[in-house]
Amino acid sequence: MAESASQETPPPGFTGMISDWSSDQTTFKGAGWGKPMMWLFILSDIFIFGVFLLGYMSARLATPDPWPDAAEVFALTMFGVQVPLLLIAIMTFILISSSGTMALAVKYGYERNRKICGRLILATATLGAIFVGMQVFEWTILIMDGVRPWANPWGASQFGATFFLITGFHGTHVTIGVIALLYMYRKVMRGDLDDGRPGAITGRKGRWEMVEILGLYWHFVDLVWVFIFAFFYLW
Amino acid sequence: MAELGHDATSYAPPREQPEMELPHSHSWWTTYVFSQDAKTIAIQYSVTAISVGLFAMFLSIMIRLQLGFPNTFSLIDPSSYLQYVTMHGMIMVVYLLTALFLGGFGNYFIPLMIGARDMAFPYLNMLSFWFYFVSVLVLMASFFVPGGPTGAGWTLYPPQLISEGTPGIHGGVIFMMVSLGIFIIGFTMGGLNYIVTILQYRTRGMTLMRMPLTIWGIFLATMLALLAFPALLVAALMVLLDHLAGTSFFMPTMFSMGEQLPHEGGSPLLFQHLFWFFGHPEVYIVALPAFGVVSDILATHARRNIFGYRMMVWALVAIGGLSFVVWAHHMYVSGMNPYFGFLFATTTLIIAVPTAIKVYNWVLTLWHGNIRLELPMLFAIGFIFTFINGGMSGLFLGNVTVDVPLADTYFVVGHFHMVMALAPVMTIYAAIYHWYPKITGRMLHEGMGKIHFWVTFVGAYAIFYPMHYLGLAGVPRRYFAYGETSPFIGESVQHLNAFITVAAVLVAAAQLLFIYNLIRSRKHGKEAGPNPWNATTLEWQTEHTPPTHGNFGKELPVVYRWPYDYSVPGAKYDFIPQNVPPEEVEMADEGAVRT
């Protein structure tokens, strides 16, 4: 039968997509429920960040006051020299690196290499935590410079408002990710994913797929940072 | 010739997925309170939504009493009047209609109709309900804070929303925004579940194009909600910050009570854009499930397959897509760039095309049908009437030049109550009368139901039709009393307002009769049996009525056909359930087709 043949080797490209969507049972073959759910959540979250950034652009265009110069505001004085965007460059580097360790963790997860996978997850969590720590440092500097949500020394008050709101919202995402990563580290190291031990809260059995799902979230949070970086620091 | 009905090929590939992990309950608490069974969650959602809806109906009566008989009820002062208007709108749109259609009907029917044992992630589903419940509590709590709930209208436009002089700016606004935030988080959890369950947990043979239209409606509405609610969430956050942290997202430089406010440079228009980017899809979040439910009920009670199933599905998809590019038609008089008005009027009128396809198809489904005027059918036909009426007045409001004089008059109130309040509510009643036998095992009382229908249907026309006239006469909406505008408003308006109020009170009384019917029939209704309407979809084919945890007993059903095999020529009975294999269809005796 054509049906059974198509299940073994799915037809490529567009034809394959059509046959998946017109099939019964599952639309995303072999993907289970967790991964589609995370993708869908990401789609919804994209709209949240999209609306945030559009709101930011709109506020920036609408305000009659001058917008503070990013190169000046975000400069760090090192050894008496003002280096623009130094801190943010390091932060971005760290967060992007954490995506690398996460991708490796997923790879070793699928190879059932518990130890290395766990360590890589821990490394990702550490990098994420460092990122959040540096963000706290950055906020502290700005607050000491006199930036407030309702005013700042250089111009439009919307600068502080959008900056704290959007980076804060992103930072919350990273923090939640770090907590989830630490929890996953414990699960991986204890072998929950191998023996399908039920989770403490939801009671769902441990599966190696969970590492990849968490990875999707983590990469998404990193990608959002790229846009925030571009819109806040380079514009 | 054993293959009867639409698409009756013997197609049942092997299972692709292992059985779902079902979290069985072990105590009273996990069975009835923190239940992870989608059906229990659905009932929790529905009961909460209907209760809060009854409260909002009570608020609408308060509004009507003031308008119909001004200066008679000392209880209602201008502030509380505005608060009633605001809370009535917000509760009805978000906390009743959205929650009931998606949380209530979605939870009950998605697993049953697609042949799944439960939602994809039952725990998250349970959490979704409890978030919703907390959001309702927070909203209700705003009645008990100093100053009461916010009175800025359900659209919550700043700067008025948080300026001195609007009721409820000290506590009410905060409670409203926090409640919306919790609602959206909770809804997202549920929404993820609905979509993933539909995409990944259909039973063998259940292709997307064999799904009942109810499921299509819920599926697309959930998709819209997942993409539209973010805008409201962000807007709510920004308003909160404007109010509490002194930021100026939406607050321009302005003077209030002779003093300059600390805000400067914000854009009130931005809020309107964000709000309506949520607000317009919200209309379709409520309407699409209603479209689906009505399609199924019409087909079942007319004993005829739905006309143009594929067209119905694609029309739903088209309406869902278009609903994201029409939002600014709510803002023609807001002061935005007039060219926008032209663009949005065009997209708005394009929506009429898929909508008209649906209406024609409903009517053509009834054409030559074996119509049985049972209670669900009455309400479904009522829906077609109110929806066409509301849609027609929508054509007036969709055009910029016609809308400008009509904006903020009772014409608008009449229009959206027809299309977005009455039509979905008619569907909700149709759905409850239709599925109550499955949910409880008993029928609702027919006589009480007939009274309920006729009073509601005729009464609702008596309420909302005159409002169009009021609007053309220039009566503005949201006014406590006409005061200095009185000379411009004809005297007949007051008589009409009193008439509307009387009709509203009667309609409200009929709803209480319905609630009594719901409660009474639970114990004393006629036994329904598993399939009282002779329907084809899977929820009527379960082993137990009401279905038990896991829905389908030992074996999941296998689907062989679409859900609309009614009155198939040559078959013995006038319906063939979806799970009847082609070779088991009973044939009619020669020349004796039973109907």
CA distance to A96, B14, B478, per residue, from B202 (Å): 38, 13, 47
pLDDT attached to residue B489: 83
pLDDT band at B553 (very low <50, low <70, confident <90, very high): confident
Residues 6+ apart with CB under 8 A from A18: none
Check CB contact under 8 Å for A62 and B267.
yes
CATH number, domain B35-211, options 1.10.760.10, 1.20.210.10, 2.40.50.140, 3.30.360.10: 1.20.210.10
Q: How many CB atoms lie within 10 A of CB B462?
A: 17
How far does the CA of residue B555 sit from the closest CA of chain A (Å)?
Answer: 15
At B256 the pLDDT is: 81
pLDDT attached to residue B235: 96
What is the distance between the terminal CA atoms of chain A, rounded to a whole angstrom? 58
Residue B1: is its pLDDT beyond 50? no
pLDDT of residue B8: 52
CB contact under 8 A, B199 and A26: yes
Q: What is the pLDDT of residue A1?
A: 35
**Could you tell me if the ipTM is greater than 0.95?**
no
A66 contact residues in B (CB cutoff 8 A): none
Is A25 in contact with B241 (Cβ distance < 8 A)?
no
What is the average per-residue pLDDT within B96-100?
A: 96
Residues B466/B418, Cβ–Cβ less than 8 Å: no
Cα–Cα distance, B25 to B37 (Å, whole number) = 9
Residues near B106 by beta carbon (within 8 Å), at least 6 away in sequence: B42, B190, B194, B218, B222, B289
d(CA A168, CA A135): 9
B-chain CB neighbours of A45 within 8 Å are 230
Q: Answer with the residue of higher pLDDT: B131 or B594.
A: B131
B242: Cβ contacts below 8 Å, ≥ 6 apart: B158, B162, B248, B249, B250, B251, B263, B266
When the pLDDT of each residue in chain B is averaged and rounded to a whole number, the result is: 92
pLDDT tens readout for residues B21-60? 788 888 888 888 899 999 999 999 999 999 999 999 999 9
The region of weakest confidence among A36-40, A227-231, B69-73 is B69-73
- Is B267–A24 a contact, with Cβ atoms under 8 angstroms apart? no
Q: Which residue among B21, B203, B234 places its CB closest to the CB of A55?
A: B234
Contacts of A23 in chain B (CB under 8 A): 207
Position B365 scores a pLDDT of 95
Q: How confident is the model at residue A8 (pLDDT cuts 50, 70, 90)?
A: low
> Do the beta carbons of residue B516 and residue B452 sit within 8 Å?
no
What does the pLDDT read at residue B176?
95
In this predicted structure, the answer to whether residue B7 has a pLDDT above a threshold of 70 is no
Please report residues of B whose CB lies closer than 8 A to that of A36: 195-196, 199-200
Residue A94: other Cβ atoms inside 10 A: 17
Q: How far is B292 from chain A (nearest CA, A)?
A: 20
**What class is the A33-234 domain?**
mainly alpha
- Distance of residue B96 Cα from the nearest chain A Cα, in angstroms: 23
Taking the CA of residue A167 and the nearest CA in chain B, the distance in Å comes to 14
Say if the Cβ atoms of B264 and A65 lie within 8 Å: yes
pLDDT value at position A11?
Answer: 75
User: Residues of A numbered 180-209 whose beta carbons fall under 8 angstroms of chain B's beta carbons: which are they?
Assistant: 201-205
Q: Write the residue in B234, B264, B265 that is nearest to A48 by C-beta.
A: B234
Within the 110-129 window of chain A, which residues sit less than 8 Å (CB to CB) from chain B?
none
pLDDT 10s digits, A49-86: 999 999 999 999 988 889 998 878 888 777 777 788 88
Spatial separation of the C-alpha atoms in residues B185 and B124, rounded to whole Å: 11
Average predicted confidence (pLDDT) for chain A: 90
Question: Given an 8 Å threshold on Cβ–Cβ distance, is A41 in contact with B192?
Answer: yes
* Option in A25, A156, A202 nearest B17 (CB): A25
Where do the domains of chain B lie? 35-211, 529-595
> CA B300 → CA B64, B535, B564, distances in Å?
38, 6, 8
The distance of B23 to chain A (nearest Cα, Å) reads 8
In 3D, which of A114, A124, A92, A113 has the Cα closest to residue A215?
A124
Nearest to B315 by CA among B411, B249, B216, B181: B216
Q: Measure CA of the first residue to CA of the last residue in chain B; give whole Å.
A: 20
**Contact (CB, 8 A) for B192 and B124:** yes
CB contact (8 A) between residue A51 and residue B234: yes
Token code pair at residue B363: 């009517």
What confidence score (pLDDT) does residue B585 get? 87
A51 vs B: CB within 8 A: yes
Helix (H, G, I), strand (E, B), or coil: what is residue A117? helix
Of B354 and B488, more confident: B354
- Asked if B206's CB is within 8 angstroms of A202's CB, the reply is no
DSSP secondary structure, B186-214, as one string:
HHHHHHHHHHHHHHH---TT-BGGGS-HH
Residue B284 token pair: 């379709």
Angstroms from A46 CA to nearest CA on chain B: 9
CA distances from B544 to B44, B540, B549, B550 (A): 21, 9, 10, 11
Mutate to test the interface with A, among B247, B285, B561 (most CBs of A within 10 A): B247
> Which residues of A, range 19-38, sit inside 8 Å of B by Cβ?
21-29, 31-33, 36-37
Report how far residue A18's alpha carbon sits from residue A2's, in angstroms, rounded to the nearest whole number. 15
Q: Is A48 helix (H, G, I), strand (E, B) or coil?
A: helix
User: How many A-B residue pairs are in contact by the CB < 8 A criterion?
Assistant: 153
CB contact under 8 A, B265 and A157: yes
Token pair for A233: 């620091």
How far apart, in Å, are the Cα atoms of B167 and each of A9, B171, B174, B313, B529?
A: 65, 10, 12, 44, 52
Domain regions of chain A by residue span: 1-30, 33-234
pLDDT greater than 80 at residue A6: no
Residues of B in contact with A28 (CB under 8 A): 199-200
Enter the tokens of residue B269.
């228009």
Q: What is the mean pLDDT of residues B371-379?
A: 95
| Residue B589: other Cβ atoms inside 10 A | 9
Using 50, 70 and 90 to split pLDDT, how confident is the model at B496?
Answer: very high
Q: Is B522 exposed, middle or buried (0-12, 13-18, 19+ CB in 10 A)?
A: middle
Of B17, B226, B264, the CB nearest to A26: B17
What band does B98 get if pLDDT is binned at 50, 70 and 90? very high
| From A43, A58, A64, residue closest to B226, measured CB to CB | A43
Nearest one of B248, B269, B270, B262 to A157, comparing CA atoms = B248
Residues in B touching A160 (Cβ below 8 Å): 247
Q: Is the pLDDT of residue A115 over 90?
A: yes
Q: Do A158 and B247 touch (CB under 8 A)?
A: yes
Give me the sign of the Cα torsion angle B171, B176, B179, B180.
Answer: negative
Contact status of A41 with chain B (Cβ, < 8 Å): yes
Q: Distance, in angstroms, between B466 CA and closest chain A CA?
A: 40
Q: Is B260 helix (H, G, I), strand (E, B) or coil?
A: strand
Who contacts B117 (Cβ-Cβ below 8 Å, separation ≥6)?
B19, B20, B22, B111, B550, B551, B552, B556
Backbone angles phi, psi at A77, to 5 degrees: -90, 115
| CB-nearest partner of A55 from B205, B226, B238 | B238
Number of other residues whose CB lies within 10 A of the CB of residue B483: 7
What would the two tokens of residue A67 be? 């917008």
Contacts by B544-548 with C-beta closer than 8 Å and gap 24+? B545/B437, B545/B438, B545/B441, B546/B39, B546/B438, B546/B439, B546/B440, B546/B441, B547/B39, B547/B112, B547/B438
How many Å lie between the alpha carbon of B18 and the closest alpha carbon of chain A? Answer: 10
B193 contacts in chain A (CB < 8 Å): 37
Q: Has residue B426 got a pLDDT over 90?
A: yes
Q: How far is CA B327 from the centre of its chain?
A: 18
pLDDT at B6: 58
Q: Does a cis peptide bond (omega within 30 degrees of 0) precede residue B146? A: no
